[in-house]
Amino acid sequence: MTDYLPSPGIPRSEFDRSIESLIARANDVRDAQGRLRALLRATRAVVEEIELGVVLKRIVQAAATLADAEYCALGVIAADGHSLEAFIHEGMDEEHVAAMGRLPQGRGLLGAVIADPEPIRLAHLADDPRSVGLPPGHPPMEGFLGVPIRVRGSVFGNLYLTNPRSGEFSDEDEQLVEALAATAAFAIDHARTLIEARTRERWMTSSAEIAAALLDSDRSRAYSVLADELISRSGSQRISIVVPGEHPGTVLVVAARGPGADSLDGQEFPIGQTVAGEVLDSGVSTMRPLTAAAEGEPRDPFAVTEDGVTGATAYIALTAGSTVWGAVVAARAPDQPAFSRTDLEVGVDLGERISVALELARAREDQQRMLLLEDRGRIARDLHDHVIQDLFGTGLELQGRDRERERSRPRDDRRCRAAPRRSHRPDQEDRVRPEPARGRSHDGDKE
C-alpha cells in the first residue's frame, strides 16, 4: 500500500492539523446531515397526524430527540395570553409528576418566553434573574432552551428543553428547534382547523336536536330539558341556567346539572358575585380561562374550583330581540381543556337557536291555550243553549200534564171542592133571600 507523505515544503505538524481539521469538518457535516435527517423524520412524524393531542405529543418527542435533551415540554398559552392552559411533557416519570403536584402555570422563565416570544438559551437555568426556582419534587435542571411556536402570527405555545446531554445547548440546537417549531405551527394549525370544523358540525346537529327537544316540551320543563341536553353534549362538568332574580340586583338559577348542582338550583346570587350578571346586563357572551384564585378572593359560584384553581367557564347570553332574558353557564374542571374561540362562537349561535326555540314553544303553548279557551267557550255556549231548551221543554211538559190532570178529575170532586166555598158565607145567602110582598096581603084582607 502506498503511503501518502506530506510534500517536502509542508511541516508534518501542520499537515496533521489540516488532516484533523478536515476530519472534524467531515464529522460535522455527517452530524449535520444526521440531524437534518432527524429534522425531516421529526417533521414527517409531526405532520402525518391530524389529532391535535397526538400532534402536540409528537412535537415534544421530536424536539427532545432533535436537541438531545433529557427533558422537553410544550406549554399551550391560555386565552388570557399570560398563562398556560396545557403542559405536555416528555422525559419525566410518573413519580416526579406526582411529587410536583400541579404542572407549571407559566411563571419564571416559562413566563418570560410568553411575555417576550423570542428564543431564550441558557447554560445554567438558575443564573438567570427571571428564574423563580424549581418546585419541591422537581428533578434538577441546568441548561435551558425556550422557543415560541407561532401559528398565523400568534403565539400558540412554547417549547421548553432542559438538560442537554452534550452539556450545553448550541446555536445549531436552537436553529433546529426553531425549524421544528415552524413546521409544528403548520401541523397545529391544520389540526385546530379540523377540530373547529368538527366542533361546528357537531354543534349544528346538536342545536337542531336541542331545539326539537325544547319544542316538544312544555314551558314548565323547558329549562330542565335544556340543562339535560347541554350537560350531555358540551363536555362541561357543570351547566347552570340563570335568569334575572325576583329581587333587584340578583340572578336566579332555574336549572343546574352536574356536581354541586343541588346547591345551586333555585338559589339567588348577587349580580356582582358572578360574571353571569355582567352577561345579563350587557348581552355579550364571554369566557374565562383557567385561573389560580388568590387567597380570600371571591369565587364565581357557577365556576368549578378545585385546590384553589378555577377551571375554564363560558357564559352564553340568551336573548329575545334586544332583551336579555337569561344566560347559560358552562363550567369545566381545572384538568379539562379550556374553551376555544370556536366554542364561544358556536355557543353564541346555540344561544340564539335556543332563544328562538323557546319563543316558538311559548307561542305554540299560548296558541294551544287560546284554542282550549275557545273550545271551552263554544262548549259552554252549546251547553247553555241545550240547557235552556231542555228547561223550556220540561216546563211545557209540566204545564201540559197539569192541564191533563185537571181535565181527568171527576166533576163531583170539583163540586165537593166548590161546596165549602159556598157554605162558609151563609150571611150572603140570607141577604139575597126575597121577603113576602106586602101588597098581596092587603089584597087578601080586602077579599
Number of compact structural domains in the chain: 2
Assess whether pLDDT exceeds 70 at residue 351.
yes
pTM for the predicted model, two decimal places: 0.63
Q: Report if residue 17 sits inside a domain.
A: no
- How high is the mean pLDDT of the chain? 78
Domain endpoint, select from 365, 390, 417: 365
Residues 146 and 182 in one domain: yes
176 or 384, which is more confident? Answer: 176
Residues 228 and 361 in one domain: yes
Confidence band for 392, pLDDT divided at 50, 70 and 90? confident
Q: Report if residue 431 sits inside a domain.
A: no
Query: What range defines the domain where residue 154 resides?
Result: 34-194
Residues 239 and 117 in one domain: no
Q: Report if residue 302 sits inside a domain.
A: yes
Residues 121 and 241 in one domain: no
Q: Are 77 and 85 in contact (CB under 8 A)?
A: yes
CA distance 46 to 260: 41
Contacts of 111 (CB under 8 A, 6+ apart): 82, 83, 130
27 or 2, which is more confident? Answer: 27
392 or 442, which is more confident? Answer: 392
Residues 232 and 288 in one domain: yes
Nearest to 132 by CA among 111, 156, 154, 155: 111
105 or 143, which is more confident? Answer: 143
Domain endpoint, select from 365, 395, 430: 365
What does residue 284 show for φ and ψ, rounded to 5 degrees?
Answer: -105, 120
Residues 350 and 256 in one domain: yes
pLDDT value of position 417: 55
Q: Report if residue 162 sits inside a domain.
A: yes
Looking at 191-200, 321-330, 383-392, which range is the least confident one?
383-392
The helix/strand/coil state of 14 is: helix
Residues 180 and 233 in one domain: no
The DSSP 8-state label assigned to residue 436 in this structure reads: P
Residues 169 and 274 in one domain: no
Q: Report if residue 137 sits inside a domain.
A: yes
pLDDT value of position 442: 44
226 or 387, which is more confident? Answer: 226
Rounded mean pLDDT of 54-71? 87
Residues 168 and 261 in one domain: no
Q: Return the CATH number at 231.
A: 3.30.450.40
Q: Report if residue 398 sits inside a domain.
A: no
Residues 281 and 236 in one domain: yes
Assess whether pLDDT exceeds 90 at residue 412.
no
Q: Are 270 and 249 in contact (CB under 8 A)?
A: yes
**What percent of the chain clears pLDDT 90, i.e. is strictly above it?**
14
For the stretch 271-298, pLDDT in tens is: 989 999 999 999 999 998 877 766 667 7
Residues 61 and 176 in one domain: yes
Distances from the Cα of 191 to the Cα of 54, 184, 197, angstroms: 10, 10, 10
Assess whether pLDDT exceeds 60 at residue 438.
no
Nearest to 178 by CA among 108, 118, 88, 89: 118
Nearest to 317 by CA among 247, 363, 366, 251: 251
Domain endpoint, select from 334, 365, 396: 365
Residues 187 and 228 in one domain: no
pLDDT value of position 430: 47
Q: Report if residue 272 sits inside a domain.
A: yes
Grid coordinates 379540523 are at which residue?
194
Q: Report if residue 361 sits inside a domain.
A: yes
- Other beta carbons within 10 Å of 262: 9
Assess whether pLDDT exceeds 70 at residue 33.
no
